[in-house]
């Protein structure tokens, strides 16, 4: 398969406002991060025909950074190009109860819109996505089972259904995700297996249209806090990419 990465833009670590605070769940817990994490610098080294050692190809990497406060709330995130220039960034705003109330979006230094969570009490039931002109372009609606989002619907500016995602969890981590189009037809099914640290060690992708399956496996190296600092992804026995994370912690 020529470029399987483009088919499966999967984020095993979620860097966004948490969906619920009914049990005081922090962004660190949502992202399966342990300890007093302050900053994360993440670098993805892609393996390709020009790369003998993926971890050595600095020019082939994608970089991102994340900053948390001492309460475990995500404050800032950004992506960085190979020249060290910030491409896209987000800044997170919280209300007095510690619930995310707005995410400001930037391209370079230019504001390109914002995401505003829809709150019912301290629970996020959806998100309104605005463009740079303050017009709602997309709306996300969430359905819950307990404290977990089990369905996410994407609506366009006219309120029409664009797509939906059904999710299943185990120990607070995603284990199955089914993506459907506006007609309710299944497009993609993703199934995850996790290790004792709740990190994904296998991802099975089922593309309904082509009736094809693709399996990716993952290996990890961990720091003393139990957070992974190196993730190696394999496809068909070959390295797809290597992700390195430099994690800084608040001093106790």
Residues of the chain with confidence (pLDDT) below 70: 1-24, 48-61
Domain count, the chain: 1
Q: Which residues touch 188 (CB under 8 Å, ≥6 apart)?
A: 178, 179, 205, 206, 207, 208
- Domain housing 39: 4-249
Residue 27 backbone phi and psi in degrees, to 5: -65, -30
pLDDT attached to residue 196: 92
pLDDT attached to residue 122: 78
**Cα–Cα dist 190/176, whole Å:** 6
- Tens-digit pLDDT profile for residues 164-199: 999 999 877 789 999 999 999 999 999 999 999 999
pLDDT attached to residue 46: 84
| DSSP letter (8 states) at residue 38 | E
How far separated are the first and last CA of the chain, in Å rounded?
48
We report the CATH number of the domain holding residue 59 as 2.40.160.190
- Output the DSSP codes for 155-202: E-TTS-EEEEEEEEEETTEEEEEEEEETTS-EEEEEEEEE-TTS-EEE
Pull the structure tokens for residue 179. Answer: 């993506």
pLDDT attached to residue 47: 79
pLDDT attached to residue 137: 97
């Amino acid at each position: 398969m020529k470029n399987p990465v483009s088919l499966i833009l999967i984020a095993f670590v979620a860097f966004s406002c948490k969906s619920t605070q009914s049990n005081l769940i922090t962004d660190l817990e949502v992202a399966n991060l342990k300890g007093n994490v302050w900053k994360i610098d993440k670098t993805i080294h892609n393996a390709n025909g020009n790369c003998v050692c993926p971890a050595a190809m600095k020019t082939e990497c994608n970089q991102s950074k994340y900053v948390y406060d001492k309460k475990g709330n995500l404050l800032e995130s950004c992506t960085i190009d190979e020249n060290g220039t910030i491409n896209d960034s987000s800044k997170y705003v919280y209300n007095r109860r510690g619930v995310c109330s707005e995410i400001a979006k930037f391209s370079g230094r230019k504001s390109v819109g914002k995401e505003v969570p829809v709150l019912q009490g301290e629970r996020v039931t959806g998100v309104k996505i605005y463009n740079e002109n303050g017009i709602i372009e997309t709306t996300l609606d969430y359905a819950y089972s307990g404290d977990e989002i089990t369905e996410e619907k994407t609506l366009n500016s006219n309120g029409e259904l664009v797509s939906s995602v059904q999710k299943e969890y185990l120990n607070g981590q995603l284990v199955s995700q089914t993506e459907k189009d506006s007609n309710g037809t299944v497009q993609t099914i993703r199934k995850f297996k996790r290790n004792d640290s709740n990190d994904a060690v296998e991802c099975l992708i089922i593309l309904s249209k082509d009736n094809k399956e693709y399996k990716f496996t993952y290996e990890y190296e961990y720091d003393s806090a139990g957070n992974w600092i190196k993730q190696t992804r394999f496809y068909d026995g070959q390295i797809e990419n290597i992700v390195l994370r430099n994690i800084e912690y608040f001093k106790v």
